[in-house]
Structure 1
Amino acid sequence: MPEIPCLKLYAGHDAGHYTLPDDVLKARDTYRGIEALPYPQPPRNSWETVSDTAEAIVDAVHAGKPVPDLDVIEKARAAERIYQDALDIMGQCQDMAKARTLATLREHALPTLTAHLRPALDETWKTYQDAYRTLIEHGETEPKRLLAAPAKVRKASDTCDLMAARYEAIAAARTDLWLSVRIRCEADPTGKYTFIRNYHTLHTTRWANVRTPWHGLSTRHFLDYMAAHSGQLWLPTPDEQAKAVEAEADLGNPVRRAAGF
């Protein structure tokens, strides 16, 4: 059976990182229900039945007994037809369940983002920032250097780890959903503002070959950088993303600045 769409979206929900609309969950349940239906067992090949019947006829004639009924051959062929019909129907059911799941995900994509993933991100980011401030007040943020730190500080570090894992799940879910239902922001073709509202405030250069300061960082270190530099993490709709692009259109663009835009 083809794999269910948006595995990462559903995985994050199942792990408790965020909620999802009831219809989105119901579509997954229907898909899994179809997936769980037992496949029919293949019947005996009708040509084997033909061969057996021919041998039985020869044996019957040799023994002077009545020849067997040939209806067994038609029954064998009918069983093969029924089996193939069952396979065809199962395939159509699977394709239909996948198509309905995708349609439901597409219909509920924006509500999923704004009413489920976004609140989870906001809560995650606030919790992370609060814990990060505790580490900054202590004077150290690296977990390996906090083994002898006070319990409050070690708890804050553990919270950062938990929130980093939750952030990964939320970001993966949003990416999975957007790719599956083919949503994109035409104003931001490279996706710079997908997760960071003030992208060019943090990284003003427009040179494509200049890496961002957070390039290659682990999720926790990425969040540390954002917390330390007033990064604005978000999950925008395409319209909101386009407005963020426009709001920072002059940053890192010497031509626009020189023209007074």
Structure 2
Amino acid sequence: AMNQAQALSSVNYRILRTISLDHHFYIIDIAYSDKGTVCLSVCADQKYGSTVITKRNPVGFVLPTGSYIDYGHWKFYYINDNIVNACSCTDSYLSINGPKVVQNKADVNLFQTHGIAVCKSDYILVCQWNRKFKDQSAGKVVKLEYIADNRNDIVLEIESDKNQPLYICPTNIAENGNGDICVFDVRAVVVTDAGGMLRFRYQGNLRDFDPYGICCDSSCNIIVADMKNDKIHVIDKDGAFHVTYDGIKMPRAICIDENNNLYVGEWHTDTVKVIAR
């Protein structure tokens, strides 16, 4: 499964609608809730400070900390200083005061925590990087058990397969419907099974493949935002490339709703595009 995936078919996407944000943001991540709203994590201008920017539906709120976020168990989760924060919310407001905390047991001086995925089961997946560069750069995926009273247990750490490192600098993550763990790494999407065994490594069908956002649809297709090439890649659950959608500029963050509509946050934008097949 290490070989480059080959193109099998092509599917056209169309822009279903756009959602106005009122302001231009550098979008880092986006998450869809089961209440029909989306949350954005952005690098906001200093004038917004550290407060939460409330928005009208369907954008519930904007988190200006530039953290990776996800939604599950009726809460939004975000990474801050290597801590996973679980935040209660309403349709239009995110409370960041007194959040429940799931503390990562890894040494914060050795590893930096990036992406997060809330699994359908009571687990949370996070990406970690060892803060080193070039040949010394390495990362891992940590599976944490979700416990609501501020405690956690590390269930699994995924670093290598057959004594070969899996990651260089894993940055964002998604759990597929078949249980696979899908991670975007340096110029690659690395997919393992639930136990950490490598299934395939997708390195794009374009030069300078530069993945950022990642999510999975109800058919277990893996959808990847290729920021540098202004494209979205769709890969099936076995790593076969299906399509690129090129009607957007610098797609950075993506999430998907229950109808398989894709919400796309571009790197510097005042709108979120909703696209459908």
Q: TM-score surpassing 0.5?
A: no
Higher relative contact order (CA 8 A, sep 6+): 1
Q: Report which of the two has the higher share of strand.
A: 2
Q: Report which of the two has the higher share of helix.
A: 1
Taking structure 2 as the reference length, the TM-score comes to 0.21
| Larger Rg computed on CA atoms | 1
Taking structure 1 as the reference length, the TM-score comes to 0.22
